Amino acid sequence: MREFAIVGLQLELGNHDNLDQIEREIRAVRARRPSIEMIVLSELSLFGVSTARAEPLPGPTEARLQALAAQERVWLVGGSLYEKAGDAVYNTAPVIDPAGRVVARHRKIYPFLPHERGVAAGDCCTVFDVPGVGRFGLSICYDMWFPETTRSMVWQGAEIIIHPTLTNTIDRDAELAIARANAAMNQCYFVDINAAGDLAMGRSIICGPGGEVLHEAGVGREIIAVTLDLDQVRRVRERGWHGLGQMLKSFRDGPAEFPAYGPKRGRSAALDALGPLTMPDAPRR
């Protein structure tokens, strides 16, 4: 069984340097829950929403997170921070493994324009592997409003989408629906972690591969601990949720050409490995 234990930290944060508070929270949750394998923070949790704190990556903040991940022996998705790269600023989320190595950085593909001013767009979807567990995808906040982002990560084999977000606006209800829809349409787990306090309104959500809600948080500080079963993702993709739709196979095999995506698309080894689109048979006991 491929199970993986994740904690999402929905913290009450301010629009300032939150690093000391975040470090205390991470150390505390590891002390209480030593079985946790990954900790996920919200978007822009480290310094808030000002691009004035942008720094290069690698940089001092990322190095501090690397040391923390190595000391606590945990995968760490440190929310995001503004990255200074030449004349450009990106909204970037680093992924750090339990040895303290940066294994991926995702630059937000869709800054929240026109509101997220002065922030450049990333140009690729991000996936990374947790050895012995499976493949993960990483996106940031407004990325999920564009279904191509989640579908592209799933096309590359992602089974769990990690999604730091920062929402303090009236459309949070819509985002909860979008998170569920992304999970159901792509038959994956979707882990959407928002901030609380002065930065955002909470209501983080974790959805399963049928679009079911595994947990929806309240509006305040909350430590969200879940254990996700990646074998369940495989079963749902092969047989359908409760034996119903096998959408990824239908998408893979469908003859339609969508003008938005050009006349050709490549093959997906991850989706090809699911086998043919057939009626699920009875389980063998």
Whether residue 282 is contained in a domain is answered as no
134, 127 Cβ separation under 8 angstroms = no
Strands, sheet with 189-193, edge to edge from the N-terminal-most edge strand: 126-130, 134-138, 160-164, 189-193, 205-207, 213-216
| Residue 284 covered by a domain | no
Return the H-helix or E-strand segment holding 99: none
In a domain, 244, yes or no: yes
Residue-by-residue DSSP string for 136-183: EEE--GGGGGSHHHHHHHHHTT-SEEEEE----STTHHHHHHHHHHHH
Quickly tell me which residue has 């593909």 as its tokens. 109
pLDDT at 261: 80
Helices 60-72 and 19-32 sit at what angle, rounded to 10 degrees? Answer: 10
pTM for the predicted model, two decimal places: 0.94
Residue range(s) defining the domain that contains residue 247:
3-272
Residue 281 lies in a domain: no
CATH of the domain at 70: 3.60.110.10
Q: Rounded to the nearest 5°, which phi and psi values hold at 209?
A: -70, 0
Q: How many domains does the chain have?
A: 1
The pLDDT assigned to 265 comes to 64
Could you list the mean pLDDT of each consecutive 10-residue stretch along the chain, which spans 285 residues? 95 96 98 96 96 96 98 97 97 98 98 93 97 97 97 97 97 98 98 97 98 98 98 96 95 87 75 86 68
Residue 261 sits at φ, ψ, to 5 deg, of -115, 5
Measuring CA to CA, which residue among 42, 21, 35 is closest to residue 72?
Answer: 35
pLDDT of res. 271: 85
Q: 257 lies in a domain?
A: yes
With respect to residue 226, please indicate whether it lies within any of the assigned structural domains. yes
User: For residue 109, which of 72, 140, 81, 134 has the smallest C-alpha distance?
Assistant: 140
Could you give the CA distance from residue 151 to residue 125 in angstroms, rounded to a whole number? 10
Residue 76 lies in a domain: yes
What is the model's pLDDT at position 55?
A: 97
277: in domain = no
pLDDT given for residue 257 in this prediction: 82
